[in-house]
Amino acid sequence: MNILKLIKIAVCLCIVAVAVGIGYLWATIKSHEQKPIIWRQAEAKGWPSQIACVTPDARESTMFKTAVTAIELDGKDQPGGFLSLGAMQFMSQPLYRDGLSVCTPESDLTRLSSIINARGYLSSPARLTETELNLVSRLPMVSAPLIKEIANTAFAKEPQQSGTSIGLDIRPIARSVLASLGSASRDYSTQAFEEISWRDSMGTGAAQIAAATGHPQVLPKIEKMMDELLASYPNDDALPYPALIRMRELSWALYLGGEDAKNHTTPIKNMMRRKIVFAASPTFIADVSPSELCGILEKIEGPEALTPFDYCAKTKAGTSI
């Protein structure tokens, strides 16, 4: 009988380990998508949201409450181990049903926020990973000690290793999270402003923080960075895809800067008149329009700004890359 119990326990632990591993793999893929984090701050500013979700059913509601309870039972002296780790991972990412995002109940997020803020740390003694960063970006309230912990990662002098992918630096993710907290991160506004650049996601992440915290000089500087990015490529050449990524990140930074951002969008439109080298596979490489910028420009200026760019309408209809 004892042997059977041990076997059952071992099987359960294996299932949990596999589930956590899948969760971490999913986090690796999703952690580089900055838009959900940015949308959180945008909604706080009263901008229209494009995130739709469905009401959780009874089973899903129970899952949310159970995960929060598992995190609540975790502590320095009595760590929750795989149970707490899995719960943190579960609450750090959207839950999906039939391809649709399931709304996380505000009551559960508020309760989770109270638990973590009262604890006073996100990850102790271990360093932060994508899980903690994504989790805090979803909380309705974030205390000063937690913000400082995130900032320590965001502005660390040395690369901060991902918890899931070898060689991946998570400092840019931490910077996007700081930006998502808006004015609560204002203590880091000046430092972020000084580190703005277009050359990598550290520089564009700094732009997002400075814009979200209302630095008075940030919007002209972001526009200048965009111009420098475009000027680094001849006008008759298609731009490499990484250039589009940097422009997209800077465009989100503009978006976070508020209503005055609409006066600084000329570089976005200039890029939208050019082509991007798109490699769907080693055997399929094509020059395509930068349709990823359509939605951002629309959010900043409104739908009329898209009139000169026919491909934006095709993208909405699902007929263009």
Which positions ≥6 away from 4 have C-beta within 8 Å?
Answer: none
Domain positions in the chain: 35-150, 217-321
Q: Under a CB-based contact definition with an 8 Å cutoff, are residues 133 and 31 in contact?
A: yes
Instruction: Write out pLDDT tens, residues 91-149.
Output: 999 999 999 999 999 999 999 999 999 988 877 556 788 888 999 989 999 999 999 99
Confidence of residue 197 (pLDDT cuts 50, 70, 90): very high
Which positions ≥6 away from 19 have C-beta within 8 Å?
Answer: 86
Q: Which of 20-29, 140-149, 183-192 has the lowest mean pLDDT?
A: 20-29
Peptide bond into 242 cis (omega under 30): no
Percent of the chain with pLDDT over 90: 61
The CA distances from residue 108 to 13, 60, 103, 112, 262, in Å, are: 26, 12, 11, 6, 36
pLDDT computed for residue 5 by the predictor: 53
Task: Give dist(CA 165, CA 160) in Å, integer.
Answer: 11
Q: Under a CB-based contact definition with an 8 Å cutoff, are residues 175 and 160 in contact?
A: no
Q: Are strands 100-102 and 284-288 parallel, antiparallel or unpaired?
A: unpaired
pLDDT computed for residue 75 by the predictor: 67
pLDDT computed for residue 3 by the predictor: 62
More confident residue, 197 or 165: 197
Confidence of residue 152 (pLDDT cuts 50, 70, 90): very high
Instruction: Write out pLDDT tens, residues 246-300.
Output: 999 999 999 999 999 999 999 999 999 999 998 766 666 788 899 999 999 999 9
Q: Which of 9-13, 139-143, 308-312 has the lowest mean pLDDT?
A: 9-13
Q: Which helix (H) or strand (E) holds 100?
A: strand 100-102
The CA distances from residue 164 to 20, 128, 161, 203, 214, in Å, are: 11, 12, 9, 23, 33
Six-digit token string for 149? 């912990």
Confidence of residue 20 (pLDDT cuts 50, 70, 90): very low
Could you tell me how far CA 166 lies from the centroid of its own chain? 19
Task: Give dist(CA 214, CA 130) in Å, integer.
Answer: 26
pLDDT computed for residue 282 by the predictor: 64
Segment 158-177 mean pLDDT: 90
Segment 41-55 mean pLDDT: 54
pLDDT computed for residue 163 by the predictor: 80
Q: Please give the mean pLDDT across all residues of the chain.
A: 83
Six-digit token string for 109? 């997020």
Residue 15 predicted with pLDDT over 70: no
